[in-house]
Structure 1
Amino acid sequence: MTSAPTSFDHRKYAPAEPVPLTDRQWPSRTLTQAPYWASVDLRDGNQALLEPMSVEQKKRLWALLVKIGLKEIEVGFPAASQHDYDFVRWLIEEDQIPEGVNIQVLVQAREHLIEKTFAALEGAERAIVHVYNSTSKVQRERVFEQEREGIIAIAEQGARWVQEHAARYPGTQWTFQYSPESFTSTELDFAVEICQAVMTVWQPTPEKPCILNLPATVEVGPVNHFADQIEYFITHLENRESAIISLHTHNDRGGAVAAAELGLLAGADRVEGTLLGNGERTGNMDIVTLAMNLYSQGIDPGLDLSNPDEILNVCTECTGLSVHPRHPWVGELVYTAFSGSHQDAIRKCLQKQRDDEAWQVAYLPIDPKDLGRDYQAVIRVNSQSGKGGMAFLLERDFGISLPRWMTLELAPVVQAASEKVTGELSSQAIHDLLLGTFMRDAPLTLKGYRLDREGAERLTATLKQGDETLALEGQGNGAISAFMDAWQRHTGDSVNVVDYGEHALGEGSDAVAIAFVQLNVNGVRVSGMAEDGDTVSASLKAVLSAINRSNAAQGALDAGQIQAAHA
């Protein structure tokens, strides 16, 4: 019997041709500084979206790119898109380009497109004009049907047009950039030859260099092969000191970041990429990942990535693309240990880690606090009780958006309940478990409060336990802070807020506030929640719910202590 025919046949593919390097240097080198970063989120990233970004989304993403410190940002293809043209004009006319930030635009080596590109950039203080044409053998032979000479002629003519049109706008500080598109599929001697021809036209100098961008337009070989290609190119290029060598890697083989790192070892100066790796097919090189790779090796990336949640939120909302919870460095779950042995190792290492020594914690290549992450999430063990589905049902059916820390606390309660029933727990049952676990109005109940907001906020709160009354007074920078002060004055307990969240349930005059709080009560974390038509009341009741759930409540409930406080 013969096997069924299959189209899955590796023999139809040829391996990448070895690069003729007899004395490669990049494997022995170590990175010591960050590259020049160039974002292509607003061009390469945008054109890869099912629904391209709106103008408002572009503005929001632009603001984020500037905020984290990117100095070179490709803002579009203004000759090919009216939206891109209008966005470039908005940046210039509304003075939205900060000092030191250089916008970049892409254009094909065609004169009418180049002319429109420079018109879009009129009035810019500085700009990078990025011109390109395809150079690979397959493009030459099967798309353009031209020999090498014809492709070089296209590049040279494009370079001249760029130079001529730039001369018409002497008020702008221009930088010229050229890409031999599909560099990785181009014969290396030809890649060098065509870039050399463009440099001959532009006549760059070390003081005013051009940018030669070498794109893995499609990743077609191993990452070490890419490094060989970069080293070959650099060592065979004349007037190397007059060119900034830039990399633009894609992730078809999953190696975009690794290829960029090795390309830097091979001598490149600059990398183009996108935040979180959005881009065509499998994506572009992820700037966040590469920057954090450098950071973890003690190298200043020159970018402020200390607020990854903002990056995740803005990118998600602007692109419509979700971020995998295991995304390197910034994914939701990357600092959470679900294994008991991992949890134990992390806890022991953290106990021994000193502030004056290099970071050495098992399973944590960096300190999560550098990225605003909490150790509590790091050392919690996932009960695998379906917390994601549980949170979804609470939000869908009751409008309750649980903070992550409360979701983690509720999950084992729901799992334990689900193990006692046949089939699936209803959303109502989950809701009842939530309220029954975290909403406690006994033994202490809030009967009323008065808040004086002149100067430091002063709070007077009246609590009841049965027939007894407790009057507390305290001050702080908010109602909860003042209540914490009052509680500690009257009980001597050590109580502080670890985390807090609130949101509205419903809309209009019928809306009520729901508040969630996590306290540290005498060294033990405990959570509570409450609902009320008044936001401050909801907050104070949530605090009392947490205290009622803790053993600390018992010390304050001695009748003599209550009467003394009342007196």
Structure 2
Amino acid sequence: MSAKNTAQPKNPAFDYTKYRPFAFAPKITNRTWCDKTITKAPIWTSVDLRDGNQALIEPMSIEQKMRFFKTLVDVGFKEIEIGFPSAAQVEYDFTRQLIEGGHVPDDVTLQVLVQAREHLIRRTFESLKGARRAIVHVYNSTSKVQRDKVYQKNYDEITEIAVQGATFLRDLAKEYPETEWVFEYSPESFSQTETDFAVSVCDAVCQVWRPDLGQQVIFNLPSTVESSTPNVYADQVEYFCQNLPMRKHVIVSLHTHNDRGCAVAASELGLMAGADRIEGTLFGNGERTGNMDIMVMAMNMYSQGVNPELDFSNMSEIAQVVSECNQLPIHPRHPYVGELVFTAFSGSHQDAIKKSLDFNEKHSEETQGVWDVAYLPIDPAHIGRGYQDVVRINSQSGKGGVAYILQRDFGFNLPRWTQIDFSRVVQNEAESRQTELTSDDIITIFEKTYLQQNTLALQNYQINNDENEVTFNGKIVKNGETLAINGKGNGVLSAFVAGVSEQLGKNIHVINYAEHALTQNDVTSTDANAVSYLQLNVDGEIYSGIGTCSSTVSAMLKATLSALAQAGV
């Protein structure tokens, strides 16, 4: 049995007894959401320009809003909440500019937010004059804490506020018959409202709007403050869907926040629980810990083979617009978009990635193009990210990562035994520098270690092929001294090694040899098109060498001298 943690907090103010378990979970015994999966995209609604904007230290200018709006359209949003036009002149002006300037595509619907107060609703309808189609989103808070402590009103009084707001919307919309109106109502703080009361309030709104007679209606169920585990929120949503009398005539929408770090999970489970529509922001900007991140939820679907109906193929450009307009950085570990999310520093991870990619390339017919790579949930290239993001080298990296970079960036396909040898060199360098090594650092170390040793050099040679034997006659330069190399063997390499062994007085044997064409030599400091890898046993010790040249034979001989230089002969 493990020991119980009895540590006491250093600060007595850190007192968990001040809190109580979540109290608003509905009693639901016939839940179905836990047996479902997400198979199609919901209706997506961006609230970046309203809910996201109100949470910024410096709210967006009209110019920034316009830039952001056009990005949302490019991504594929068909419903965009653009602001709170009754609350600020800049919001009103932006709404008018969108409509009067013809910036709203025919398949995009504007959405605006307003409190359930007549003069604010009237101002809202004025701002939308001339819109082809618009969603007017009215709300009032229904939670127990707000009823008791903020408004000090009972159930009936809170319900009356909702009914009055719904009535104002219904009546004022008739003054603008040129626009196709959609009515949306949020029992704000739905997550902290008794679910049966939320159903009751929304049913009262239904009696005013009459979706059963053709009025388009959305009921939005906000997790305004995330207060429970996602499964409880899913129960609340399913209870609502099961018990709202006019459920089949309305769209049920979700709007989750991230106070517990579970906004995406809550929306995913809520979608399984019966919701049709999702509100959120790109990259999760919003009050406190933020809104639900639509990009993450959409890409989660994408990674499961479900069409998200949003286009994030140009993720870096989208991220730049969002970051600049919000004036907020994007965390390097942010799912899908962060600088480091496809990066592996761990040696074992790098090795698994390299082997997976190699396998897929060699077995393309077998894999049929289906993405299945260790540690990479999606192909970075699908969202405009390069494979340069995948493997980066520090002191924790291993042979697989180093080999991957040399192959990807410079065309060197190191055999395993050379990978092991060179990874030790790289690790020592990374530990010495105490920093990450770049691709340029790796090739510099590689060339210095194997290709630019200056103790041994090949000068000239002649090869004679007899019927059963190869004779090598040539010269090498050792520390400025020219040495004659004469040897015989069953091949050029064995003849050269025999001659070198005799001249240097060393016991030398070839253990491993590999070669390949070097097709990416334009990115290295060499002008070679052939590379040879050699592993030698020199007086009982193992050394690796690499040689490059336009001639395969010369590359092989240079690799031998490279290994001998490692041996210090």
Report if TM-score (shorter chain) is over 0.5. yes
Q: Give the match's secondary structure for 1:103.
A: strand
Match of residue 269 from structure 1 = 276
State the distance in 1 between where 2:302 and 2:441 align. Answer: 43
Letter paired with 2:51: D
The 5 Å alignment of 1:149-228 reads: 149-205=156-212, 208-228=215-235
State the distance in 2 between where 1:523 and 1:370 align. Answer: 28
Structure 2 segments unaligned to the other structure (5+ residues): 1-7, 398-408, 411-423, 447-515, 530-547, 552-569
Match of residue 363 from structure 1 = 375
Letter paired with 1:140: R
Does structure 1 conserve the Cα–Cα contact (< 8 Å) formed by 2:138 and 2:165? yes
The 5 Å alignment of 1:276-355 reads: 276-353=283-360, 354=364
Q: Percent identity?
A: 55
Match of residue 148 from structure 2 = 141
User: 2:391 aligned with 1:379, yes or no?
Assistant: yes
Is the alpha carbon distance of 1:413 and 1:110 closer, same or farther for their aligned partners in structure 2, counting shifts above 3 Å?
A: farther
Does structure 1 conserve the Cα–Cα contact (< 8 Å) formed by 2:47 and 2:279? yes
Q: Give the match's secondary structure for 1:152.
A: helix
**Equivalent residue for 1:132, pick from 139, 147, 150:** 139
State the distance in 2 between where 1:547 and 1:188 align. Answer: 66
State the distance in 1 between where 2:13 and 2:286 align. Answer: 28
Letter paired with 1:381: I
Match of residue 37 from structure 1 = 44
Letter paired with 2:376: L
State the distance in 1 between where 2:266 and 2:430 align. Answer: 48
Is the alpha carbon distance of 1:343 and 1:123 closer, same or farther for their aligned partners in structure 2, counting shifts above 3 Å?
A: same
Does structure 1 conserve the Cα–Cα contact (< 8 Å) formed by 2:162 and 2:201? yes
**Equivalent residue for 1:20, pick from 20, 27, 30:** 27
The 5 Å alignment of 1:532-551 reads: 546=523, 548-551=525-528
The 5 Å alignment of 1:65-76 reads: 65-76=72-83
Structure ID, larger Rg:
2
Q: Give the match's secondary structure for 1:139.
A: helix
Match of residue 253 from structure 2 = 246
Q: Give the match's secondary structure for 1:205.
A: helix
State the distance in 2 between where 1:420 and 1:145 align. Answer: 66
| 1:548 CA drift (Å) | 3.9
Does structure 2 conserve the Cα–Cα contact (< 8 Å) formed by 1:206 and 1:243? no
Match of residue 508 from structure 2 = none
State the distance in 2 between where 1:303 and 1:5 align. Answer: 47
State the distance in 1 between where 2:17 and 2:391 align. Answer: 48
Does structure 1 conserve the Cα–Cα contact (< 8 Å) formed by 2:346 and 2:396? no
Letter paired with 1:137: K
Deviations along 1:277-310, whole A, 9 cap, x unmatched?
A: 0000000000000000111111100000111101
State the distance in 1 between where 2:191 and 2:324 align. Answer: 33
Letter paired with 1:78: P
State the distance in 2 between where 1:419 and 1:300 align. Answer: 44
Is the alpha carbon distance of 1:182 and 1:419 closer, same or farther for their aligned partners in structure 2, counting shifts above 3 Å?
A: closer
Match of residue 481 from structure 1 = none
Does structure 2 conserve the Cα–Cα contact (< 8 Å) formed by 1:343 and 1:381? no
| 1:366 CA drift (Å) | 1.5
Does structure 2 conserve the Cα–Cα contact (< 8 Å) formed by 1:316 and 1:323? yes
Does structure 1 conserve the Cα–Cα contact (< 8 Å) formed by 2:181 and 2:216? no
State the distance in 1 between where 2:98 and 2:179 align. Answer: 15
| 1:209 CA drift (Å) | 3.0
Q: Give the match's secondary structure for 1:321.
A: coil
State the distance in 2 between where 1:370 and 1:220 align. Answer: 35
| 1:112 CA drift (Å) | 0.5
Does structure 2 conserve the Cα–Cα contact (< 8 Å) formed by 1:414 and 1:433? no
State the distance in 2 between where 1:377 and 1:335 align. Answer: 6
State the distance in 2 between where 1:195 and 1:377 align. Answer: 48
State the distance in 2 between where 1:433 and 1:25 align. Answer: 55
| 1:352 CA drift (Å) | 2.0
Q: Give the match's secondary structure for 1:178.
A: strand
Letter paired with 1:361: V
Letter paired with 1:76: G
Match of residue 6 from structure 1 = 12
Q: Give the match's secondary structure for 1:75.
A: strand
| 1:380 CA drift (Å) | 3.8
Letter paired with 2:15: D
Q: Give the match's secondary structure for 1:56.
A: helix
State the distance in 2 between where 1:369 and 1:302 align. Answer: 18
The 5 Å alignment of 1:454-473 reads: none
Does structure 2 conserve the Cα–Cα contact (< 8 Å) formed by 1:136 and 1:185? yes
Does structure 2 conserve the Cα–Cα contact (< 8 Å) formed by 1:129 and 1:176? yes
**Equivalent residue for 1:62, pick from 41, 62, 69:** 69
Is the alpha carbon distance of 1:384 and 1:49 closer, same or farther for their aligned partners in structure 2, counting shifts above 3 Å?
A: farther
| 1:416 CA drift (Å) | 7.8
Is the alpha carbon distance of 1:550 and 1:207 closer, same or farther for their aligned partners in structure 2, counting shifts above 3 Å?
A: farther
Question: RMSD value over aligned CA atoms?
Answer: 3.2
Is the alpha carbon distance of 1:217 and 1:548 closer, same or farther for their aligned partners in structure 2, counting shifts above 3 Å?
A: same
Q: Give the match's secondary structure for 1:196.
A: helix
Is the alpha carbon distance of 1:103 and 1:416 closer, same or farther for their aligned partners in structure 2, counting shifts above 3 Å?
A: same
State the distance in 1 between where 2:10 and 2:74 align. Answer: 57
Deviations along 1:233-260, whole A, 9 cap, x unmatched?
A: 1101001111100000000000000000
Is the alpha carbon distance of 1:335 and 1:87 closer, same or farther for their aligned partners in structure 2, counting shifts above 3 Å?
A: same
Is the alpha carbon distance of 1:420 and 1:86 closer, same or farther for their aligned partners in structure 2, counting shifts above 3 Å?
A: same
Does structure 2 conserve the Cα–Cα contact (< 8 Å) formed by 1:245 and 1:270? yes
Does structure 2 conserve the Cα–Cα contact (< 8 Å) formed by 1:223 and 1:259? yes
State the distance in 1 between where 2:108 and 2:338 align. Answer: 29
Is the alpha carbon distance of 1:71 and 1:414 closer, same or farther for their aligned partners in structure 2, counting shifts above 3 Å?
A: same
Letter paired with 1:169: Y
Letter paired with 2:385: R
Does structure 1 conserve the Cα–Cα contact (< 8 Å) formed by 2:203 and 2:245? yes
State the distance in 2 between where 1:307 and 1:148 align. Answer: 48
Match of residue 235 from structure 1 = 242
Which one is further off, 18-27 or 98-107?
Answer: 18-27
Is the alpha carbon distance of 1:306 and 1:139 closer, same or farther for their aligned partners in structure 2, counting shifts above 3 Å?
A: same
Is the alpha carbon distance of 1:206 and 1:157 closer, same or farther for their aligned partners in structure 2, counting shifts above 3 Å?
A: closer
Deviations along 1:307-333, whole A, 9 cap, x unmatched?
A: 110111111111011111111112111
Deviations along 1:65-90, whole A, 9 cap, x unmatched?
A: 00010000000000001111000000
How many residue pairs are counted as aligned between the two chains?
428
| 1:374 CA drift (Å) | 2.3
Does structure 1 conserve the Cα–Cα contact (< 8 Å) formed by 2:527 and 2:550? no
Letter paired with 1:13: Y
State the distance in 2 between where 1:420 and 1:377 align. Answer: 24
Letter paired with 2:391: I
Does structure 1 conserve the Cα–Cα contact (< 8 Å) formed by 2:395 and 2:430? no
User: 2:267 aligned with 1:260, yes or no?
Assistant: yes
Is the alpha carbon distance of 1:214 and 1:338 closer, same or farther for their aligned partners in structure 2, counting shifts above 3 Å?
A: same
Question: TM-score, normalising length from structure 2?
Answer: 0.70
Is the alpha carbon distance of 1:308 and 1:522 closer, same or farther for their aligned partners in structure 2, counting shifts above 3 Å?
A: farther
State the distance in 2 between where 1:4 and 1:297 align. Answer: 45
Is the alpha carbon distance of 1:257 and 1:433 closer, same or farther for their aligned partners in structure 2, counting shifts above 3 Å?
A: closer
The 5 Å alignment of 1:438-517 reads: none
Match of residue 466 from structure 2 = none
